[in-house]
Amino acid sequence: MTNTLSLLESADDSSSTSHTSNVTGQPVIDFSTVEAFAGQVISDFAGAATTAMTVIGDRLGLFDAMTGTGPVSAAELAQRTGLHPRLITEWLSSQVVSGYLRHHAATGRFELPIEHAMALSVVASPAYVVGAAEVVSGQFATLGHLERAFRTDGAVDYAHFPDTVTHGIERFFRTGYVHHLVDEWFPAVDDLVGKLADGARVADIGCGHGAATLVMAQAWPRSTFTGFDLDERAITVARSRATDAGAPATVSFKVADATGFGPGPYDVVAFFDALHDLGDPIGVLRRAHELLTPGGIVVAIEPWSTDRLDDSIGNPIARLDYAISTSMCTPTALAQPGAFGLGTCGGPTRRLELLTGAGFVDARVAVDTGQNLVLTARVAD
């Protein structure tokens, strides 16, 4: 603290740079930079606090209750939802100042614009992203485990994360699968759609709740799909989702370690936002290569990232994904056999090298959306 105070006392606040030194050899502090950065930090804190309020609005159905209703008073919303009127008033105010809701000052009423509802409450919308709020809240719910991981072996068992996180992951990623997988992502992979249309045997590794598995099954009914996941809770949910979808005979879900999935053979092996979560991605890719038929295809949808860290500075997708990678994806991978810790980010080149190292040929990025990377390779004929 003494050193910090001496720096502040000796600082020349008229300086335009913090990279020079004064005659004492101490750095000269640019207080306009200090002020701007402090403002950025406060803005980030405000965003984190707003996310908590977004989770509350989502869990309690407040966004749903305001969707398509036009302006509503706090009392009307409280009556409609059966929730505490004073807290409803405060929650509405928090959403207004964050720009999520509109306030009609003349009438004191509040409105959820339909454009905002598309992100917060309209499940069928291609912009429906509210599930990510539960993932962020999971960071805070498990900070104690993460602190221990930093001080010890780096590992956090996935079981420590609440079920709300896994459901948030499904809701967030499902939007992309529903709106882009069939019409954009898979057509960009050579021969993939043809195989699926003719009838392929497909393994979905790290399938979670089976969202992508079921999207594929509905689009290509002549193919058969088996989803594998280490988390028994996730497989239970996936089987329930399949029942809700009419229990298609072409779909099954199994609990299995990613390196032990099978028995195969398969024509396609897919990873949906899962490759970076695996403790031994190299071993899993080698297993996939072993079980795929000649000419078989591996496809991995991964969160978007850049090879050069500096190319991601300030990008909101990168900011979110690196934070989630630090708090969830990397430590849970370090808790698994192999403990590779690929991480959510790090760019496509490293992932393509894994594919090539596992024996695949023609590894490439088929699609780069700025939010997702679709990587593919195949087994030599």
pLDDT bracket for residue 15 (50, 70, 90)? very low
In whole angstroms, what is the distance from residue 306 CA to residue 348 CA? Answer: 7
pLDDT higher than threshold 50 for residue 13 = no
Query: Position 66: which residue type?
Result: M
Distance between CA atoms of 216 and 194, rounded to whole angstroms?
Answer: 13
CB atoms within 10 A of CB 20: 11
Domain ranges of the chain: 33-120, 131-378
**CATH numeric code, 33-120:** 1.10.10.10
pLDDT at 92 over 50: yes
For the chain, give the percent of residues with pLDDT over 70. Answer: 93
Assess whether pLDDT exceeds 80 at residue 20. Answer: no
Cα–Cα distance between 267 and 271 in angstroms, integer?
A: 14
What is the DSSP secondary structure assignment for residue 260, as one 8-state letter? G
pLDDT tens digits, residue range 176-222?
999 999 999 999 999 999 999 999 999 999 999 999 999 999 999 99
Q: What is the pLDDT of residues 316-329, one digit of tens each?
A: 999 999 999 999 99
Quick one: CA dihedral 81, 84, 89, 93, positive or negative? negative
Number of continuous H segments (helices) and E segments (strands) in the chain = 16, 9
Give CATH superfamily name and number for 131-378. Answer: Vaccinia Virus protein VP39 (3.40.50.150)
272 contacts: CB under 8 Å, gap ≥ 6? 173, 177, 204, 206, 207, 208, 211, 212, 301
pLDDT at 18 over 60: no
Q: What would the mean pLDDT of 257-264 be, rounded to a whole number?
A: 90
> Is 80 exceeded by the pLDDT of residue 1?
no
Q: What average pLDDT is seen over the chain?
A: 93
Buried/exposed 124-153: b ≥16 CB within 10 Å, e otherwise: ebeebbbbbbbbbbbbeebeebbeebeeee
Nearest to 272 by CA among 352, 169, 131: 169
Please name every residue paired with 361 in a beta bridge, in sequence order, or none if there are none. 378
Cα(361)–Cα(355) distance, integer angstroms: 8
Alpha helices in the chain (DSSP H): 2-10, 31-59, 62-66, 74-81, 85-97, 114-120, 131-141, 143-151, 163-176, 192-198, 211-219, 232-244, 281-291, 316-324, 330-334, 348-357
Residues 6+ apart with CB under 8 A from 243: none
Q: Which amino acid is present at 192?
A: L
From 363, 340, 356, 184, select the one nearest 276 (Cα to Cα). Answer: 340
* Prediction pTM value: 0.90
Residue-wise pLDDT tens digits, 42-73: 999 999 999 999 999 999 999 999 999 999 99
Measured CA to CA, the distance from residue 7 to residue 29 in angstroms comes to: 8
pLDDT bracket for residue 23 (50, 70, 90): low
Contacts of 245 (CB under 8 A, 6+ apart): 214, 217, 218, 251
